[in-house]
Amino acid sequence: MNKNRLSSIVNRKWWLCARCIAVLITSLFVVKSSAQKISATLDRDKIVIGEQVTLELKVSDVNPRLSFLASWFSFPDSVNHLAIIKKDAIDTVDVGGLATYLQHITITSFDSGRWAIPLPPVIIQDRTSGKKTSLKADSVFLQVLSADVSGLKDYHDIKDIIDVPKETDYTLIIAAGISVVVITVLLILLLKRKKSPLPVAKKQVKNARPPLEEALYKLNELEKEGLAVSGQSKLFFITLDDICREYFANRLNIHVTELTSDELLPMMGVYLQDQPARARYKQLLQLTDSVKFAKYKPAVPVHADALRAAAVTLQYIDGQIQISTGHVK
């Protein structure tokens, strides 16, 4: 009887030990399986200059009862040839008691090449011990391709003038009759008055500079104003765009003030047959629209590049006009 009881006690102790070991192994497995995970992915890894791509940042398997986010990914407005267009709020999703944090960031670029997206670390802090754990995601790369507008479906050459059937209009006849009456009355009044020397009308001094020289002069004055350094990027690009459009109006005798960039580019494509020249001007238009309408704030060197691109484009167009008219200097 004593031997059976002793054997029962021993077996019970072994069973308790085995159960403790099993619980310990299960706890270790749970702790290991609940380790935080971090990732960064793009919805596509290739874009054309000026297009937008979405970057998804994700941190999962965070136990909110034991730890919390001490710091999140921190991005400047522009970095490494990339521009941040929009940052969505950080979303939190509960999955089985563990928190997953998500954020979407819209990115664009106006420089062709393969650019690495720098990913700052995320810091997780333990609520009890205060210990901080740094999580680092793998690098993400974005390929930015040069714009190719040679195959644009919306490109249309300038059409010939279409004759529209005219209807009988008596406006000119009426206006001519009124003019004759007014002139007759004025002549009668002048004849009744004593002759007096007429004042000499001052000649209006027109701009002596040719359109290209005037545009280049204004571009140089725009650079001297220092708008880029003072943070007035929007005013800078609005003025730059106005200078180019004023040149088109004076040199080509066409009305372009109210045209959008999408309407202006095909019209200028007639004078920008060279692919690099056309791509350069398209990139300049896209950059201008991003600053004017998307509140994009480019770095200071980008302003100087835009000035050079505008000057080169206007000089190229002027050269093409001289070739076509046979007035090459």
The whole-number pLDDT of residue 172 equals: 75
- Banded pLDDT at 238 (limits 50, 70, 90): very high
pTM of the model: 0.41
Rounded percentage of the chain residues whose pLDDT exceeds 90: 31
- Mean model confidence pLDDT for the chain: 80
Q: Looking at residues 309-313, what average pLDDT do you find?
A: 93
The whole-number pLDDT of residue 294 equals: 83
Chain segment 90-102, per-residue pLDDT in tens = 989 888 889 999 9
- Banded pLDDT at 201 (limits 50, 70, 90): very low
109-118, 148-157, 224-233, 298-307: segment of lowest average pLDDT: 148-157
pLDDT higher than 80, residue 159: no
pLDDT higher than 60, residue 329: no
DSSP collapsed to 3 states, the chain: CHHHHHHHHHHHHHHHHHHHHHHHHHHHHHHHHCCCEEEEEECCCEEECCCEEEEEEEEEEECCCCEEEEECCCCCCEECCEEEEEECCCEEEEECCEEEEEEEEEEECCCCEEEEECCCCEEEEECCCCCEEEECCCCEEEEEECCCCCCCCCCCCCCCCCCCCCCCCCHHHHHHHHHHHHHHHHHHHHHHCCCCCCCCCCCCCCCCCCHHHHHHHHHHHHHHCCCCCCCCHHHHHHHHHHHHHHHHHHHHCCCCCCCCHHHHHHHHCCCCCCHHHHHHHHHHHHHHHHHHHCCCCCCHHHHHHHHHHHHHHHHHHHHHHHHHHCCCC
> Domains (ranges, CATH) in the chain?
37-145 (2.60.40.740), 211-325 (no CATH)
Q: Which residue has the higher pLDDT, 196 or 88?
A: 88
The whole-number pLDDT of residue 5 equals: 62
Q: Looking at residues 14-34, what average pLDDT do you find?
A: 52
The whole-number pLDDT of residue 246 equals: 94
Chain segment 253-310, per-residue pLDDT in tens = 888 888 898 888 888 888 888 888 889 999 999 999 999 888 888 998 999 999 999 9
